Amino acid sequence: MIGWVRSAVSVRADDTPVALIRPIPDDRPTRRTARVPRSSRARRPRRPLRIAVRVVALLVVVGVGYLAVSLFQVWSTGRTDQARPVDAIVVMGAAQYDGVPSPQLAARLDHVVELWPQGLAPLVVATGGNRPGDRFTEAQASAAYLTDRGVPADAILLEDQGTSSYESLAGVAELLHQRGLDDVLIVTDPYHSLRSRLIAEQVGLRAHVSPTPTSVVTGSDLARRQLQEAAGVAIGRLIGFQHI
């Protein structure tokens, strides 16, 4: 490619300027499309791999968000008292020591003792089986504790076969359905309230919760159990609580 430029001006004898034109080669490089070496192209991730990475990242974000929502629901349900007239008050079992309720179980039972005089229900269902070697079930220890504090013995039903929350509430549903009843108020620790209510609904009960305000589970132990409950709620909603 040749560019034409004016290089000089000469003057003739009659003082008439004459432009002297001469060609000057244009040595500017011609633009060419840059090519990526084969080795560089080979190192780039393939498109299917990039798509897979994005899908996995999206699933992780959705999973974390789902767990966070479940954790908030566990926390908020534990702060909600839904006490109202029902067919029966159900107290969830916890550890007992040779017929004596553990502090955690006693806190739940103390709340039942406070609710009973309000006339919210004609029945109390004590739940919980026993471990190998125990002389008493959790339900038996609970019933003895309640009668000592003014709840009539003939108003207490025992579900003493369950070894998990699901088994206990399934047993409660069977006991109450035999009597044509299904509306319950569940008493347990705050962190355990949401999962208990969801399990009760899954086994055919109309459930409300009244968490004990004197739970002995606090601090870091409470935070750990809330996380566990959130995971249990999140999974249980997907596959059913009987599988957890």
* Averaged confidence pLDDT in the chain: 88
On whether the CB atoms of residues 138 and 180 are closer than 8 A, the answer is: no
On whether the CB atoms of residues 191 and 160 are closer than 8 A, the answer is: no
pLDDT given for residue 9 in this prediction: 45
Q: How far apart are the first and last CA of the chain?
A: 80
Q: Which CATH architecture has domain 82-216?
A: 3-Layer(aba) Sandwich (3.40)
Q: What is the mean pLDDT of residues 84-98?
A: 97
Domain ranges of the chain: 82-216
Q: What is the mean pLDDT of residues 24-46?
A: 56
User: How are beta strands 156-159 and 100-101 bridged, if at all?
Assistant: unpaired
pLDDT band at 47 (very low <50, low <70, confident <90, very high): confident
DSSP code of residue 29: P
Please give the angle made by the CA atoms of 193, 194 and 198, to the nearest 5 degrees: 120
pLDDT given for residue 86 in this prediction: 98
pLDDT band at 35 (very low <50, low <70, confident <90, very high): low
Percentage of the chain beyond pLDDT 70 is 82
Choose the weakest-confidence range: 31-45, 98-112, 200-214.
31-45
- Residue-wise pLDDT for 116-157, tens only, equals 999 999 999 999 999 888 999 999 999 999 999 999 999 999
Whether 45 shows a pLDDT value over 70: the answer reads no
Distance of alpha carbon 159 from alpha carbon 170, whole angstroms: 9
pLDDT given for residue 159 in this prediction: 98
- Residue-wise pLDDT for 58-67, tens only, equals 999 999 999 9
In this prediction the pTM is: 0.79
Transcribe 113-127 into DSSP letters: HHHGGGT--S-EEEE
On whether the CB atoms of residues 195 and 236 are closer than 8 A, the answer is: yes
Where is 77: in which H helix or E strand?
Answer: helix 47-78
Radius of gyration of the chain (CA): 39
Where do the H-state alpha helices sit in 79-218? 103-115, 138-147, 165-177, 193-202
